[in-house]
């Protein structure tokens, strides 16, 4: 396993004041087209046959990815010509380090198989990261970060950490990024069909609910506020992604809104997830992933879910979280 350890804790006492200079990241230049290989054999697509039990496109013409809406042979062939790197971030603090092994081992079986993947694991216990065999062109960087006494603070700190990672390291080194929760496990293919400029994942508990039942932040005082008569979908904070430039703008905006709320002594009902949903309301995702890509439990089923690709794992939240 390729491991890189980075210490992200700085001693502010030794830092000198420097003039602030804003340097815009230089994003990797993409000139990708959807080029198919000559002689490639795959099933003929149809405009008449397809999923009829679910919506496969939003009202703003963004695709919603379900089983049966893409051909893995064709789409893999197209994207393998592009020599992509997919950065993937997870956070494992406190007792959440127990989920690292299953996450990584299952990812190596199902996640962007055959493509270049660089995992970034943020943890306060780098010594507890287990050895996991990485596939060719897959690597893992373990970055040490500070501990928190509240799980809410862990959640809210992620946007700032992701913003800095993209700015300082990834802008010119990766093409796409996905930000995932660690207390999860892969059970099926998660591949290039998920790639897009800005990608949201529909929440597994609210995919069939009306908008007035969405658990948006409902207090007008919060920057995450969404009125009861607004909203498209409820998105999971446990998985989102897209191009480096678009996810950087997302994390920067959410970090700024979180800080404004904090200055006003307000904490959104679901912390970063609330701000993510407000962002996606105003900045529509270019692609949505169905709840197949963030299911609630491998042992639960729904008629619309033909394949469980990625799911939460069962746990006692009171036992693993540092506070109620």
Torsion of CA 141, 147, 150, 151, to 10 degrees: 10
Is 183 annotated to bind a ligand? Reply is yes
- Sort residue 114 into left (φ over 0), alpha (ψ -120 to 50) or beta: left
Which of 273, 292, 300, 319 does the annotation list as catalytic?
Answer: 273
**CA proximity to 6, closest of 168, 182, 152, 245:** 168
Task: Compute the half-sphere exposure of residue 194: CA atoms within 13 Å on the CB side of its CA.
Answer: 27
Is 35 annotated to bind a ligand? Reply is no
Is 203 annotated to bind a ligand? Reply is yes
Residues 81, 33: Cα–Cα separation, whole Å: 10
CA angle 116, 117, 122 (to 5 degrees): 160
Is 119 annotated to bind a ligand? Reply is no
User: Is-catalytic flag, 273?
Assistant: yes
Query: Quick check: 110 and 186 in contact, CB under 8 A?
Result: yes
Assigned token pair, 69: 């809406």
Is 215 annotated to bind a ligand? Reply is yes
Is 273 annotated to bind a ligand? Reply is yes
CB within 8 Å of 1: residues ≥ 6 apart: 131, 132, 133, 134, 140
Query: Quick check: 240 and 255 in contact, CB under 8 A?
Result: no
Is 96 annotated to bind a ligand? Reply is yes
Which residues are the active-site residues?
273
Per the annotation, where are the binding residues?
96, 181-183, 203, 215, 273
Per the annotation, where are the binding residues for UDP-N-acetyl-alpha-D-galactosamine?
96, 181-183
Per the annotation, where are the binding residues for Mn(2+)?
181, 183
């Amino acid at each position: 396993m390729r491991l890189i350890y980075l210490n992200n804790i700085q001693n502010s006492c030794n830092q000198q004041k420097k003039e602030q200079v804003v340097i815009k990241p230089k994003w990797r230049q993409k000139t990708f087209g959807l080029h198919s290989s000559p002689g490639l054999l795959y099933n003929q697509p149809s405009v008449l046959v397809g999923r009829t039990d679910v919506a496969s496109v939003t009202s703003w013409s963004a695709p919603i990815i379900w089983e049966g809406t893409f051909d893995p042979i064709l789409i893999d062939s197209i994207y393998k010509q592009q020599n992509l790197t997919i950065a993937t971030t997870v956070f494992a603090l406190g007792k959440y380090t127990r989920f690292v092994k299953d996450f990584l081992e299952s990812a190596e079986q199902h996640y962007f198989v055959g493509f270049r993947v660089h995992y970034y694991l943020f943890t306060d216990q780098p010594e507890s990261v287990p050895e996991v065999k990485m596939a060719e062109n897959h690597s893992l960087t373990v970055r040490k970060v500070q501990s928190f006494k509240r799980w809410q603070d862990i959640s809210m700190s992620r946007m700032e950490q992701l913003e800095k990672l993209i700015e300082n390291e990834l802008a010119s080194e990766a093409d796409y990024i996905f930000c995932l929760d660690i207390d999860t496990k892969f059970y099926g293919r998660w591949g290039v069909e998920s790639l897009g400029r800005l990608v949201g994942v529909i929440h597994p508990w609210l995919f069939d609910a009306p908008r007035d039942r969405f658990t948006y932040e409902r207090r007008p005082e919060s920057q995450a506020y969404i009125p009861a008569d607004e909203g498209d979908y409820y998105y999971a904070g446990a998985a989102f992604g897209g191009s480096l430039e678009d996810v950087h703008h997302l994390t920067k905006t959410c970090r700024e809104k979180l800080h404004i709320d904090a200055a006003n002594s307000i904490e959104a009902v679901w912390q970063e997830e609330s701000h993510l949903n407000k962002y996606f309301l105003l900045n529509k995702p270019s692609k949505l992933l169905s709840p197949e890509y963030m299911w609630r439990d491998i042992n639960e089923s729904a008629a619309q879910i033909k394949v469980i690709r990625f799911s939460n794992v069962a746990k006692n939240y009171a036992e693993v979280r540092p506070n109620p």
